Structure 1
Amino acid sequence: MQKAIVVIPARYGSTRLPGKALADIEGKPLVQHVYERARISRLASDCLIATDDERIKQACEAFGSTVMMTSPHHNSGTDRMAEVATRTDGEVYVNVQGDEPFVDPEAVDLLIRMMRDNPAIKMGTLKRPYESYDSFVNPNLARVVCDKDDFALYFSRAPIPPMSREEFESSDKRKLAFKHVGIYSFRREFLLEFAQMPPSPLEKAERLEQLRALEAGVKIKVLTTNYESISVETPADLERVRALFARRR
């Protein structure tokens, strides 16, 4: 069986929320919540945190995580994960964002299972239907449109396919609108290849690195999930997540 490794890239520097990986939520750092959820995966052989910061390393070791120190010069979490792939023996790698404390381990397993069952697929990710028009037009969220076999045609920060509020609420066009959920699976060989590719024109225009793969002609399988990702990117996000945890006590 193909060995799958979950990698959680975590960095200290953040423009909008410096040090967010160590932000306290219910007495634990944010990255610990992510790790404890991700490691519930039944199909992953290992789950580790990749960082370039000694403070994060020490915090992760304190709660028992495997930690790998990586180069401080990576431009993205995928690049950091590619370094992990050069130093580990996985065949499938899953990138779980280090700022999503409610990550669904079943969503992780969905991608691992797909990669194991379809050896020709090099890369996978997730989508979920939009529940409101306001969410659909939110410029901070990424969208994906797919072909009939659920391979990505395009990812964008713009509302695609374009539609009015009336169309969204009363027509079948709504069925074409999907939010991109940013958990990725890679086959090891393609992950290393991807990290060597220069950023592509569309990737730079949209600020979405998965477009690098599409522009290179690589098909990305997109599976549907019910997982609603909640990320911590701003101080307001952090307070919202703290409130959600408090209500779950």
Structure 2
Amino acid sequence: MVLGLIPARYASTRLPGKPLVDLGGISMIERVVRQAQQAHLDRVVVATDDARILAHVRGFGGEAVLTRPDHHSGTDRLYEAFQQLGSPAEVRAIINIQGDEPFVHPAQINALVDFFTDERTAPDIATLVTPVRSAEELFSPHLPKVVLNQRQEALYFSRHPLPYQRGRAPAEWLAHHRYLRHLGLYAYRPGVLARLTQLPVSALEAAESLEQLRWLEAGYAIRCAETELDAFGIDTPEDVARARQQLAAGG
């Protein structure tokens, strides 16, 4: 079984209650659930900290569990949800789908599911990357960049462009190197997810505010699948307006 879990918090500094934001007559969290249900997942469950989101998801026929409100990360919330579901022994992979990405594509989820088809070659952790397409993306601290080794495993994630190009002006970087940025979908073996929640915050994680650096520092390999499909998270009222425009245009 492959389990899709969607963490969805009500509290947000810039956009309180954002899972319930209306996007073209459908809430953001319902859009995420419907997209996930089209992927090769055996079960899709929302993990939320708020009774309003819980009731809303169940109201449109989705499955949800109520988790503690004091988790420090979505990873911790996911693991509590997995435990509430009884930690099914037949689950071979858990896919972490961001609750604030209503345009997540089923093919992006499937790219991670495919890593776990054969348990003998399945990674401990997997995630998605996509090419950087503009200087705005390259230099945005809100879009983490990543560099890979020859086995398509992450070497490092950063909010700064990676790599730095010595001897070239930053305006020329994109023309001379193929940059990758990280998309926030993850997949884990269940036992690995359990161990990740026991790791303390690391120095690199604290510096960059990127949880995946904690895992790299602890010695875990993160396999990466590349996708040409884009995605963007919704964090601000401006993001909501952009999403509504995209929907109105048929996106």
CA distance in 1, matches of 2:214, 2:224: 16
In the alignment, which residue of structure 2 is the partner of 1:96? Answer: 97
Letter in 1 for 2:115: M
In the alignment, which residue of structure 1 is the partner of 2:52? Answer: 55
CA distance in 2, matches of 1:54, 1:10: 11
Letter in 2 for 1:205: A
Match of 2:124 among 122, 125, 140: 122
Letter in 2 for 1:186: Y
SS class of match (1:110): helix
Contact persistence 2:92–2:116 (CA under 8 A): no
In the alignment, which residue of structure 1 is the partner of 2:16? Answer: 18
Q: 1:120: Cα distance to partner?
A: 4.9
In the alignment, which residue of structure 2 is the partner of 1:37? Answer: 35
CA distance in 2, matches of 1:238, 1:101: 10
Moved over 6 A (4+): none
In the alignment, which residue of structure 2 is the partner of 1:85? Answer: 82
In the alignment, which residue of structure 1 is the partner of 2:5? Answer: 7
- What is the RMSD computed on CA atoms of the aligned residues? 1.2
CA distance in 2, matches of 1:119, 1:191: 17
Letter in 1 for 2:87: T
In the alignment, which residue of structure 2 is the partner of 1:143? Answer: 145
Match of 2:187 among 185, 198, 218: 185
CA distance in 1, matches of 2:76, 2:229: 25
**Identity in percent:** 38
In the alignment, which residue of structure 1 is the partner of 2:134? Answer: 132
Unaligned regions of 5+ residues in structure 2, if any?
none
SS class of match (2:140): coil
Unaligned regions of 5+ residues in structure 1, if any?
none
CA distance in 1, matches of 2:144, 2:173: 20
Map Cα deviations across residues 98-154 of structure 1 (whole Å, 9 max, x no partner): 000010111111111112335451000010111112210111110110101111000
Letter in 2 for 1:166: E
Q: 1:168: Cα distance to partner?
A: 1.8
